[in-house]
Chains A and B, each alone.
Chain A
């Protein structure tokens, strides 16, 4: 009898775990399972395709020069883009966090502003700036008599665009690491006569190395799976990466769904190997550097390097923000899309607001805006709740199987968005729940896709808060739930808010995960822009991009203080 009750109590205690595993199963495992299944099927998965013939032919057909070329392009672009993003992002983060660089707000802006410029918008803008013949920059160069053409439709162009638009991720991931280092560790080294350089290389960087490795991993993963940039910048010169090749296969008539699945599996395995290697390198070291004690990190004086540092930041902001938005505005405002020469670019008489009026009245823009906001908010609320509970179970319970949750939660890092989208498509074709064609399927895709970022950020704050604070409460006689509510939640509240805001922003920015999931009723803004681009209405794509970025900027501005970029004096 007592045994039965104990068993029952144990089952109840373990219920949250089973619920979480079930949810993650549907969000992560099932889509991957469907992808693998589709890759060995003879026909596209769908009702009636079960029990169909299995084959390895799809993989054999992958062994073509087109695949090798796309793989090679993918690797080159991802490595190059990651390096550029790391250099830019880390420099900015270090300047903002640890130096007396003037105009600190500008540096922080440089780090966060590109959050609202999606890589798609960046690519669109740079194709206007640097298309070989009529790119605005090239028009100016030509009129100045400079015999040099910037061509963004090249590997170098892709690397450049990836680098500038993924640098903010590196910035965000390393900035807090740099500000949160316990200065006692650095002071200790200094007391022992270590030089600034030695402190930096032997103390500071090892301390931020988890953040840095994490940033490298994330950036590489994000770039190699990125679809919009190669789609926009690679297409004109026939330059394909794995994601754009997958998209092309799916857009054949009829689609080569099984080929796309096999290729998706290949991309998935590649990414998983990378992630696995990174995890091995990181090991299981513990990095508890934030405790109940207050401190303030020491600032490094830049001296004569102060102004070059500012110039560096200004250049970054101009390249990532000012020029692209100038180009988008130029095209949105022009009544005639044709620009004869550099002088025409500045001829204000050719400008008008008609383009924006048309877009604001356009039903696809309105539906897109509405859908983006609704889906983004739903993803933030559902995702925030799910990821908090996951983090709570993983870090504050002793339930067996909690590590599996942590593992599943981090898994989507290794799942390319476009591949996740394919998996979702087939999963919900088959499941008897009529979710395909609704906004909810987009929301689920967002939640699954951004679990690592959101769950990871909440987890980090659990990890950084030593359990000594909670243990003190427990020792002082508070119950578990009271401890959670009064100690844990207030301590990590800002990280939950921050995770939800990240979910909101990332969801609204996302294109790849939903490119196979939307229908005309459930188009979101990113899809509307992509559609306008694909059907060749660039001026409208540009106008919507501007409005889209304004929406994202408003959210980013509102959430600035939660997103890890804080004014140092406020700490």
Chain B
């Protein structure tokens, strides 16, 4: 009897060991949802690269739970339909979690996809406040939300002595949300919004809008959408003789803005999430990025994306498995875990518990830190 039991136990141990060994060879797949094509592809590829660097570091340290990590990219193209396709692809590939999410408009519908599949989702860039009520509980936003940016923007325009404001957005969830919230806060302060306008994406000519802004009068213009069209608006504002303050939201903090806007971008302000080159902690990261991706600079969302991957890795280790519920619980329990962008902890709505916005100013074809 006892002999048989021992045999059984031995067999079980061997089976367990075998299955354990099998697991050790099978890598953990992490989904990466970023736009790798379309007008926002620059940011998306930067984010993917940053996540790959984080994964390389994790793998060099022995992986997660003793397993190697690999990424699977879903191209959201900054488009709601394409991003849902990308999300379905990642969900059906049985990923242990998803990192990424750029363009709030394209991220919003994927919340449901990942929510239904119960996949932990670390959102590293998208920060529209519309994402907050739509979050089924599995998503965690590690970028400061639109509310933090609105407060920063309104305070800044007031400090510059602006009384009238023109706000231009692109009609997507992110930029419209930021525009509406800013308009609301601005009016609450007893000040006037003279022009609030939505332009269509890919629009080339803003000259008639510029004339409208000049004729209605605005001490400052706030562009809340992305750099590709933002550079164009800045250029045409200056071409059209507008001389007031111009500020752009965090969707426009790419250096590419300067290529498109040219000299017109000098003196433009930008409310930005923490960019690698302004973070002393990110020195090593910038170096490895430059070594691995020759000729590219990390871009604005790469530090957050790197942190997002590290955070997911930390949560999987803490949960001790890739069981979604355990990983989600572990993510929610983050208490000041810090990599490049500062301590990460979450509110009860899974948003970052602090504001991380800084103000940049365009000088000689690049951003410089204006104030923290």
Q: Do A and B make up one complex?
A: no
Chain A residues engaging chain B, CB cutoff 8 angstroms: none
Chain B residues engaging chain A, CB cutoff 8 angstroms: none
